[in-house]
Amino acid sequence: MHDNPLQITSQDVPTFNCIVHVRRTADGVKARVANLEGIEFIAPDERSALSKIVPAFKATLQELLGSNKEIPWLEPPSAASEDEQTRYIPVHL
């Protein structure tokens, strides 16, 4: 499998840490993945934003792994700005 600290091994189910920065905006909440580029959403509330982030993160990883491509982790993950809070979400493939 992969030798990466962002991957958690649990039985035979690959699990990855999805690091998300969230902040309030005029339109609700913006959530962006900090350890994988290009995944972000704006939603009315944090729960809705995260419910969009997780499937997008999972689909991206499944596509990359299915194509035997290297996962382009951002290492270190992008830093949170002053108005952002960080969430750590384990994602099971």
In a domain, 48, yes or no: yes
In a domain, 2, yes or no: no
Task: Give phi and psi for 50, each to the nearest 5.
Answer: -70, -30
How many domains would you assign to the chain?
1
In a domain, 41, yes or no: yes
Mean pLDDT of 7-14: 66
Domain range holding 49? 7-92
Q: Which of 82, 85, 77 is nearest to 39 (CA)?
A: 77
Give the CATH number, domain containing residue 22.
3.30.160.250
Task: Kindly report, residue by residue over 19-68, the tens digit of the pLDDT.
Answer: 999 999 999 999 999 999 999 999 999 999 999 999 999 999 999 999 99
pLDDT at 1: 46
Question: In a 10 Å sphere around its CB, with 0-12 CB exposed, 13-18 middle and 19+ buried, how is residue 42 labelled?
Answer: middle
In a domain, 30, yes or no: yes
In a domain, 62, yes or no: yes
In a domain, 1, yes or no: no
In a domain, 80, yes or no: yes
